[in-house]
Amino acid sequence: MSASLNEELAALVADAESALAAAADDNALNTAKAAFVGKGGSLTALMKRMRELSPEERPVFGKAVNVAREQVNAAIDGNRRRIAAEAQQRSLAGTQIDATLPGRAPDRGGPHPLRMVEQDMVNVFRDLGYDVALGPEVESDFHNFGALNFPDDHPARDMHDTLKLEDGRLLRTHTSSVQVRTMLANKPPIRVVVPGAVYRSDTVDATHSPYFHQLEGLVVDRNISMAHLKGTLQAFVDRYFQRSLPIRLRPSYFPFTEPSAEVDIQCVFCGGDGCRVCGKSGWIEILGCGMVDPAVFESCGVDPNEWSGFAFGMGIERVAMLRYQIEDIRHFYDNDVRFLSHFS
């Protein structure tokens, strides 16, 4: 390679390093970069003079150009870091920090409102002497229906109510299946509540969802009566809503209880005066209950001649809607932080 080209290359690198070192910001640095290693830059123009060289000189010159390019690129990277550091120093120098000010606490999440309501409900029954029982959400037909005295042609067995799996199992439609498991695994007396998720093939609207939560209760002992059931439910309502709310029992039908009843509480929105929510009746339905049917006891190996009991079940979402006066169940599942933040 000729001495003149070698000298030009060395001078070009020196000029580039000097221009890059003089750049005060990113814009100036990018301008200098383009002037030397850009498409129209000095190094690119010098590279075009390779045609002037002999075949033997060209590889030597090409290697020298690559070394020069690496030197310039290293200078670019180094000065870019320098410019960033200088900008940071200027920013810090212009910022007045009062070290005595208290720190800003980060935003913290909290329990989901349904989990809070479930735990509050469970705690009321714990205070009344109940244990907590849990069970699988994927159930057998026996535990979900058969042992609970559902006839083979009962509508709740149809596909429009029950979500079935290909292997014959199903997603439990109520937590009553855990009551069956509890009686099969334990001898009376029994006093348990069962919180958990349940599934039904239902249309989503303001008060319905195919996925929701229930809390069921089961008591099995000697000489249990409807009076015990009503007293228990009244105690729960008063403690949970933290005020005295009258309840009433209306005759109803469930395959697994006899007699059965629907339970209403005085409307929490209007205090019984009648409003749009309660349909002007002054009452709101909250749960279903009844005395355990002897056929259920027999399916679970409990002697109905020796033992009696009651069972009840309520939707956790429904109780939450009443407690917090929420009119649309979908709020619990939309994950809207504006809604959830009210409970954190």
Residue 159: pLDDT band (50, 70, 90) is: low
Binned at pLDDT 50, 70 and 90, residue 43 comes out as: confident
Cα separations (Å) of 260 from 122, 157, 251? 23, 20, 6
Q: Which amino acid is at 286?
A: I
3-state secondary structure of 176: helix
pLDDT at 207 over 80: no
Q: CA–CA distance from 35 to each of 8, 83, 123, 335 (Å)?
A: 15, 19, 75, 54
Average pLDDT over residues 102-108: 82
Q: What is the bridge-based pairing of β-strands 190-199 and 131-132?
A: parallel
Task: Report cis status (omega within 30 of 0) of the bond before 188.
Answer: no
Task: Please tell me the predicted confidence (pLDDT) of residue 3.
Answer: 62
pLDDT band of residue 311 (cuts 50, 70, 90) is very high
pLDDT at 297 over 60: yes
